[in-house]
Structures are given as C-alpha cells and as structure tokens.
Amino acid sequence: MGGYILDFYCFKARLIVEIDGKSHEFQKEYDSNRDKFFKNLGYQTLRIKNYEITKNLNKVIGIIKQTLSLRLGEGGRKTG
C-alpha cells in the first residue's frame, strides 16, 4: 500500500500492525515517516516489538483487540 509492505492490515478498522525486529532500531526515521504517511490517510499504525510477542502473546493479542474495538466503535468503520 502506498509503496510500502505491511505486516498486517485491517481495512475495516484502518489499522496497520507492524512487528518490529532488531532492524527497526536502525530505521527509526524511516518508520516515523511511514507512520506519518499512513496517519495522514486516516490509518493508525500499531507497532509491536518481536520480543513482546514471544514474551507475552496474550497481552499483545489483548492490545490488538482493544485497538480494533476503539477503531471500529459500535457502528462499524470509524472515520478520522
């Protein structure tokens, strides 16, 4: 999308989930510019570190579910 490869994407919630490994420590400016690009289009980027998934998968799933609920609200697709 927009020339970028996304790890996970939920069209309805306009939510992007990125799993960041060690390489992202050296590309913070690139990631920041990318996040701003998508924010300007109405998307939210949720960044999760690789180790967080292996350390506590249930917590990560909870964060994603909560973010989806907030983005979708009760009436479906959220705008803005």
pLDDT digits (tens, 9 = 90+) for 46-80: 999 999 999 999 999 999 999 999 999 854 455 54
CA distance 77 to 34: 22
Structural domain spans, the chain: 8-72
* The pair of three-digit structure tokens given for residue 24, joined into one six-digit string: 């992202």
Task: Report pTM.
Answer: 0.79
Q: What is the pLDDT of residue 26?
A: 67
63 CB-near residues (< 8 Å, 6+ apart)? 46, 48
